[in-house]
Structure 1
Amino acid sequence: MTSSAHPSGPRLGLRENAPQFALLVAVNALVGGMVGQQQTTLPLLAEQVFGLAGYSFVFAYVAVFGIAKAASNYVAGIFSDRYGRKPVLLAGWLFGLPVPLLIMWAPSWEWIILANLFLGINQGLAWSTTVTMKIDLVGPKQRGLAMGLNEAAGYLAVSVTSMAAGWIAAEHGLRPAPFLLGLAYAVIALVVVSLFVRETRGFVELEAAAPEPSQSRATGLSNAQIFTLVSWRDRALSSASLAGMANNLNFGLSWGVFPLLFAGAGLRLGQVGLLVALYPLVWGFGQLATGWLSDHLGRKPLVTAGMFLQAAALAVIAASHAMPGWAAGTMLLGLGSALVYPALLAVIGDVAAPEWRGRAVGIYRVWRDLGYTAGALLGGLVADAVGLSSAVWAAAGLSTAVGMVVAYRLFETHPGKRTAAA
């Protein structure tokens, strides 16, 4: 593995920074676990404990989570470029600590919504910052592999914790036992980040001086200029933002709709937990390969194929009426997300200059994580109007449309396989 270094300074590369990289992978697994603790349980908590009816109101917790996470991504990008990565990461975990406590003690659904506001801030600050720190450490040659490892850790933790929370809920009830997992994760993360994680901003200057700079050499850009580049002006960056938003729309839909769809068909809580966990399980394991694959085949083939595969998977889920079909659909959906996720983050790392990389990652994740809110709104409104299966069909159609847009607009950004932007 190649590296780049000043004579007496830090060195770029995965092997050269393996201890810190591995520590950040573990921290991101804890970030993912904070989401997993509630994926199986909250929709059922809404119906069985709080007696809520009306999908739009029930899914409000996903919408609030998405808005909070999107806004926090933006803040994380600005603050990590200005003040450093570690303070932002630590702040993210301080916001995560109250989440399981609020859910365990909630006397009303409004407390659950407040908990997800804090969870969104935790995810935006902590996950965005671990992404930026890993990109800082490895340099351009192994960016896809680094993002695959990062996202695999997060989503495997979502899956494992989701299954564990479902099992604990089946044995000990929906509250408080499943949420003790989240409390333990937050405490462990605060200790690890405070004592062992090191600042990575010093690696930025090293990469900026390297012989293979990022595709965009623009420097001295304002926050507004970077926002427009990532949002619509740059074809690669804006295509990544759109595909990321569609992917998380599907994830947000699965968070709210899938447990109710499966439980409504008479499946037991343990079976629901297994089906809900299959999606992030395949997503997580798949990224161990797809991040590396994007470094060898390029980013665009994986992103395009992943969006169309997600559309097909959602159609399978919507058309199925029993566990085998739903299991096949959720696993295909996980594979589609695995193809897309690390490649999209690698696109941002490829194109953004090191000087404004943190802000670019943050803005991309603003658009991507607004997908949670879009998924909650789509799922709630369509499900209330015409049923849960129809909400899944609607998401399948949107994924198909986004796949077509990405196939047209996204150009290859891998440093060794670049094509000129039209």
Structure 2
Amino acid sequence: MSRTRSRVALAGVVYATLLAQVLLYPGIDTLVEALGAATHLDASMWFLAAEFAAFVVFAVPWGLASDAAGRRVPFVVAGALLGSLGYLLLAVLPGALALSFPAVLALRAFQGAATVGAFSLAMTMLMDLEGSHGRNMGATGIAIGLGTATGAPLGGVLYGLGPFVPLYAAAGVFLLVALGVPFVVDRAPAAGERASPFAGLRRTPRLALPYVFGFADRLTAGFFSLVGTLYFRTVFDLSPAATGVTLALFFAPFALLQYPFGVVSDRIGRTRPIVAGSALYGGAVILVGAVSSLRAAQGGMVLVGVLGALMVPATLALVTDLAAPGDRGVAMAGFNIAGSLGFLVGIVGGGLVADAYGYRAAFLLIGGLEIGLAAATLPAFRRIESGQATGSGP
């Protein structure tokens, strides 16, 4: 399989993972109620958090196993099959066995532990491709954006057919991934020494930069998946379908602009897209929560999507720039750990702040964190660019 076809196929795996994940978001309050939860905000928060807690714990073992074996494809297939099973069990077992909500959360954690393998290692396989890092990570960003852009409105429609229909659809999506991945050429480096993302950070401390931005960017994604969804559902009284369309106003430009912005980051460097993009992105997040009309908030979502598309491929490409070829599996695992922790904090922290102080305070806090991070890391990015200009290593 050619490099271009491999890039498209692997981006398809990333797309499918995000599609399945986001199918659940537009009516998450409806789903947790059907699963036996007594409250909407708290139960939705913990249902989303359970998946990403599993992402944090299990991203490293998947990456270590893949690097040690010198192969990726069998692990992606295994993650996809187990992920399909996890979604199916969530749809069937709670009603059949009258499971308590804590037991439902345990099933959700199992599903997250499986799907992070398919997701993280598909991204690692894109890192393994020769050629432009910006193009490869731009393809990843497009897949992430398209998955979320189509998953949000489609999930809203599927909720109209029943609260468990998105779960069945997600199970089917992962089954298709498992059937398709074996046709992709496995370009993993030869089996090497087992390492951890923490050892990689010791060898290459500058990986902390893309990691911390991955944390912050996914923090806002987690925030929007819970607080943003419930904000539009309650403040503007939107249905799941209308909420899905509103979320897509962010995800559509986020998807469509990833590849061209990835190419731009190859030409102008990573600093400006990441640092300037993050500062503007934080301001756009604050804007969404500050305006009083639905149309203005939806316009803010479009702006958030454009600025997110500027940042993400440059951040992903920076991981590839800095990681040694034999460490790419654990380097991407480390990035996904940071991102999953961010998503988890965005869900739990955003939910707690919104519950205690209201939606506007929560939007202000999340946007302000992004702006502060951009300002704090600018000197470190300048040092990296200076070192690259003089030919020194990472």
Q: Equivalent residue for 2:174?
A: 186
2:68 aligned with 1:96: no
- Distance change (3 Å), C-alpha of 1:234 and 1:405: farther
Q: Equivalent residue for 1:134?
A: 126
- The 2-side partners of 1:399 and 1:389 are apart by 16
- Distance change (3 Å), C-alpha of 1:65 and 1:412: same
Which of these residues, 130, 134, 155, is aligned with residue 144 of structure 1? 134
Q: Superposed, which structure 2 residues align to 1:241-260 within 5 Å? A: 241-260=211-230
Q: Equivalent residue for 1:394?
A: 365
- The 1-side partners of 2:337 and 2:390 are apart by 26
- The 1-side partners of 2:256 and 2:390 are apart by 27
Offset at residue 164 of structure 1 (A)? 1.0
Q: Equivalent residue for 1:7?
A: none
- Distance change (3 Å), C-alpha of 1:241 and 1:389: same
Q: Equivalent residue for 1:3?
A: none
Tell me which amino acid in the other structure corresponds to 1:394. L
Tell me which amino acid in the other structure corresponds to 1:223. A
- The 1-side partners of 2:311 and 2:73 are apart by 27
Q: Equivalent residue for 1:74?
A: 60
| Larger proportion of helix | 2
Q: Once the two structures are superposed, what CA deviation does each residue of 1:99-144 show, in whole Å capped at 9, x if it has no partner?
A: 33234333454455234323422342112111211121224xx111
2:188 aligned with 1:198: no
Q: Equivalent residue for 1:310?
A: 281
Q: Once the two structures are superposed, what CA deviation does each residue of 1:327-375 show, in whole Å capped at 9, x if it has no partner?
A: 1222222223212221112111111111212111111221121101111
2:88 aligned with 1:118: no
2:231 aligned with 1:267: no
TM-score under structure 2 normalisation? 0.89
Unaligned runs of 5+ in 2: none
- Distance change (3 Å), C-alpha of 1:399 and 1:177: same
- The 2-side partners of 1:303 and 1:326 are apart by 24
- Distance change (3 Å), C-alpha of 1:258 and 1:364: same
Identity of matched residues, % = 24
2:18 aligned with 1:32: yes
- The 1-side partners of 2:111 and 2:293 are apart by 32
- The 2-side partners of 1:417 and 1:346 are apart by 17
Offset at residue 238 of structure 1 (A)? 0.6
Offset at residue 241 of structure 1 (A)? 0.7
RMSD (Å), alpha carbons: 2.7
- The 2-side partners of 1:153 and 1:279 are apart by 14
TM-score under structure 1 normalisation? 0.83
Q: Once the two structures are superposed, what CA deviation does each residue of 1:198-248 show, in whole Å capped at 9, x if it has no partner?
A: 32125x79xxxxxxxxxxxxxx98735x51553x77453111111110111
Offset at residue 316 of structure 1 (A)? 0.7
Offset at residue 155 of structure 1 (A)? 2.4
Structure 1 stretch 50-59 or stretch 183-192: which is displaced more? 50-59
Tell me which amino acid in the other structure corresponds to 2:222. G
Q: Equivalent residue for 1:239?
A: 209
SS at match of 1:38: coil
Offset at residue 300 of structure 1 (A)? 1.2
SS at match of 1:59: helix
Tell me which amino acid in the other structure corresponds to 1:182. A
2:377 aligned with 1:377: no
Q: Equivalent residue for 1:213?
A: none
| C-alpha contact 2:283 2:368 (8 A) present in aligned 1 | no
- Distance change (3 Å), C-alpha of 1:47 and 1:383: farther
Unaligned runs of 5+ in 1: 1-14, 206-219
Q: Equivalent residue for 1:22?
A: 8
Corresponding pairs, count: 386
Tell me which amino acid in the other structure corresponds to 2:209. S
Q: Once the two structures are superposed, what CA deviation does each residue of 1:29-66 show, in whole Å capped at 9, x if it has no partner?
A: 21111112111121333357746336344301222222
Q: Equivalent residue for 1:53?
A: 39
Structure 1 stretch 301-310 or stretch 246-255: which is displaced more? 301-310
- Distance change (3 Å), C-alpha of 1:321 and 1:102: farther
Q: Equivalent residue for 2:300?
A: 329
| C-alpha contact 2:8 2:139 (8 A) present in aligned 1 | no
SS at match of 1:62: helix
Offset at residue 383 of structure 1 (A)? 1.7
Q: Superposed, which structure 2 residues align to 1:167-178 within 5 Å? A: 167-170=157-160, 172-173=161-162, 175-178=163-166
- The 1-side partners of 2:82 and 2:106 are apart by 12
